[in-house]
Structure 1
Amino acid sequence: MNEPTMTGRPTVTVVVPNYNYAKTLGACLDAVLAQTYPPAEIVVVDDGSSDDSVRIAESYPCTVVSTPNRGVSAARNLGVLKSSGDIVFFLDSDIALRPDALQRAVAALESDPGLGFVCGVYDDVPLFDDGPVERYKVLHGHYWRVRAAGPVHAAFFSLGAVRRSVFEAAGPLDETLRATEDVEYGARLAPFSRIELRADIVGRHDDDDRLGILLRKQFTRSVPLVSLFAERGRGRPKLAETAYRPAAVALLCLSAAGFAAAMLPGAPSQALVALGGAGLLGYTVVERRLLNFARRRAGLRLLPVFYGLHALMNLTTGAAAAVGGVRWLLSADFRRLYAGSPKPLTQMPGGPADA
């Protein structure tokens, strides 16, 4: 295993949770091994993959831990338990870091004792280009993270470094959550330290390339956020930090409602069409910087595709918020979704208490 060459500086563990990402795992580990600040250890936690992931991981100088499928939060928790670095750098197996990513993360944490978690951004090109849906998702993912750079309230575990002492103080990730675990953890981390999103820590991401999967994930992840935003007080994430702007979501939903209502028998169609057009125009104005960014980076040919895909994602987010709002009103269990306290690391399966 590579050892740091910077005497006296923090040791870094890279924890890579993986589930059926044989396609990208090699590129991910190659990039980790090419870091200018070499990690002290790499721990790959394979979460019950059925592809060639384990064989690929075992061909690299890293610790490979294989478990039945329990979800990414459980895999990350187990990776922390199986490691010893002063800093834990969490990295999803579909991301390849720039060579200076670890060095920049360590420097940020060393320079600011009050900073406990530092997150990176995705590059504006995909790790493997699989078509226009992925190009849209990668461009948007890069844009909104750079837009939100600075102090944030969500801990982006796909690409981020945390002091081990801070992680242990806040407790492990909530393994009952299969989505939204990053924003829940950010809210829980707030009393212990600050979180910062930095545009100079970069990884190239292999994102979803099928529209159905993209929309389903967006809906699934957005519904429970209603409970988190409603209940987390000062530590909760801010609406301005979300990937999809609330104003854009509201205006596009208003536009869609206006156009849909105009088709109803007996409806005042002209007024409703005007309402729909006004909502669409307002949405376009709100998102003008994003659209200009897409035009500059991807060209005019992709812009209509980008516009349409972004509209679908905003409408999906609006539908999810509506469903989440109804569930919050009707279900006490939904309102308490984030009220539980995860067990400390020493009580997690595989932790010292089970040794």
Structure 2
Amino acid sequence: MSNHVLVSVVIPNYNYEKTLHNCLEALQKQTYKNIEIIFVDDGSTDHSVEIAEKYPCKIIETKNKGVSSARNTGVENSAGEIVFFLDSDVALFEDAIENTVNQFSKDPSLGSVCGIYAKEAMFNDSLIEEYRTLQNYFWRKSSEGYVTAGFFSLGAVKKSVFNELGGFNKELNNSEDIEFGHRLNQNYRLLLTSKVMGYHDEEDQLGNLMRKMHERALQRVPFYFSRKKFTKGFETPLRGLGMLFVGLSTVLLPLSILELYSLLFFWGCLFIFILTDIGQYCFVMKEKGVIFTLFFIGVHWTVTAVVFWGFVRGLVQFLLSKKFRLKYRYGS
């Protein structure tokens, strides 16, 4: 591949006027110039379309069909040999698309190249956003290499591979990345690399983050049963073990108020939880110091507890609902 390869940047959008200017402005500054921008607005009620009209975009308007459908629509209207999926709350580093094309050129076995969020947020609106930004950066950075889960908020796919696989599952709008990544890995490789980076506007409210993570964990259950394997990447056995100890600690927490042994077991579970991802906390300590690291541990414990009970809820739903069990039948 060379500079003559056309890259189609597909941006699905729903009410992201806050970040859209930064997203589109960053595309104007790319070192790789042979790109087309396809902006798929999925029924926004804010000023997103008006903002997009100020930039050289092909604008397509749909009606609240979800991110998977929006991405598929973007590809259907694209002309590039490579499709770069970019969420409208991400602003790419200037060399992101150039590095993506170079990765495809170096490794013909690649079907997809996905990037990593920077350790600085696009907008730093709260301590919760700082937590999420650092946590997301570390997990992805420590997982660099060939993985099975896709990250298509800033990730590229060869168009021929995308068409061969039939696109994203339109029924999924929360776990579509991992499902598509699994299908891609049957015949191709997926590279996660920090050579492709962007600033992301993370969740800045704990309640919103918890709801999103709980739902995502619930949706993972039928996927794991359907594919009979965990994803390769940041979902490590140690982190899975840590989540189990967090689940146990949530049961022990009410009892610890009344009983000394339960309190000791709770602190033991917390200690093991920290040990299972000690590199993450050392990284945060280096970046932000002791006080923020203690805050980080508390928030991460809380979010992990929500994820654990999302899995539990998903297991119950898997047992009771045939429709839920067949959720990932697409592409099997």
TM-score category of the 2 structures, normalised to the smaller one? over 0.9
Among 73, 98, 115, which residue is 1:120 paired with? 115
In structure 2, relative to structure 1, the CA distance for the partners of 1:38 and 1:53 (3 Å cut) is: same
Structure 1 partner of 2:304:
314
Q: How many residues align?
A: 332
For 2:290, what is the secondary structure of its paired residue? coil
**For the residues of structure 1 that align with 2:185 and 2:103, how far apart are their CA atoms?**
18
239-248 vs 317-326, which deviates more? Answer: 239-248
Taking structure 1 as reference, are residues 101 and 78 closer, same or farther at Cα in structure 2, changes over 3 Å only? same
* Contact 1:148–1:241 (CA under 8 A) maintained in structure 2: no
Alignment of 1:302 onto 2:296: no
Query: Of residues 2, 8, 33 in structure 2, which corresponds to 1:13?
Result: 8
The residue aligned with 1:352 is none
> 1:278 corresponds to which residue?
268
* Equivalent position SS for 2:140: helix
Residue aligning to 2:235: 241
Matched, 1:226 2:221: yes
Q: Partner amino acid for 2:162? A: F
CA drift of 1:336 comes to: 1.1
Matches of 1:244 and 1:217, distance apart in 2: 23
Q: Deviations over 1:206-248 (max 9, x none)?
A: 11101110000000111010111121146x5247536992121
2:106 is aligned to 111
Q: Distance in 1 between matches of 2:204 and 2:126?
A: 7
Give how far 1:293 is off. 0.9
Contact in 1 for aligned 2:245/2:270 (Cα 8 Å):
yes
Q: Deviations over 1:286-326 (max 9, x none)?
A: 22211111121123332222111111111011101111111
Structure 2 counterpart of 1:330, from 317, 320, 331: 320
The answer for the alignment partner of 2:18 in structure 1 is 23
Q: Give the Å deviation of 1:341.
A: 4.1
Runs of at least 5 residues in structure 1 that lack an aligned partner in the other structure: 343-355
For 1:170 and 1:340, locate their aligned partners in 2 and report how far apart those are by CA, in whole Å.
10
Q: CA offset at residue 131 of structure 1?
A: 1.2
List structure 1 runs of 4+ shifted beyond 6 angstroms: none
Partner of 2:206: 211
In the alignment, is residue 290 of structure 1 matched against residue 285 of structure 2?
no
Aligned equivalent of 2:77: 82
Distance, in Å, in 2 between the alignment partners of 1:244 and 1:213 is 26
CA 1:39–1:50: 2 relative to 1, 3 Å: farther
**Matches of 2:237 and 2:67 in 1, distance apart?**
21
RMSD: 1.9
Q: Distance between the aligned counterparts of 2:165 and 2:235, measured in 1?
A: 21
2:291 counterpart SS class = coil
Counterparts of residues 41-120 of structure 1 (less than 5 Å): 41-120=36-115
Distance 1:169 1:242, change over 3 A: farther
Q: Who is 1:197 aligned against?
A: 192
SS of the residue corresponding to residue 282 of structure 2 reads helix
Correspondence for 1:162: 157
Structure 1: distance between partners of 2:233 and 2:197: 24
Indicate how the Cα distance of structure 1 residues 185 and 244 shifts in structure 2: closer, same or farther if over 3 A, else same: farther
Superposition map of 1:126-205 within 5 A: 126-205=121-200
Indicate if the aligned counterparts of 1:166 and 1:192 stay in contact, CA closer than 8 A: no
Check whether the contact 1:186–1:237 (CA below 8 A) recurs between aligned residues: no
Per the normalisation by structure 1, the TM-score is 0.89
Judging changes above 3 Å, is the alpha-carbon distance between structure 1 residues 243 and 160 closer, same or farther for their aligned structure 2 residues? farther
Which has the larger Rg? Answer: 1
Tell me the TM-score normalized by structure 2: 0.95
What is the aligned partner in structure 2 of residue 349 from structure 1?
none
Distance 1:239 1:22 in 2: 32
* Structure 1 Cα separation of the partners of residues 288 and 238 of structure 2: 20
In 2, the alpha carbon distance for the partners of 1:203 and 1:239 equals: 19
Q: 1:160 to 1:129 in 2, by over 3 A?
A: same
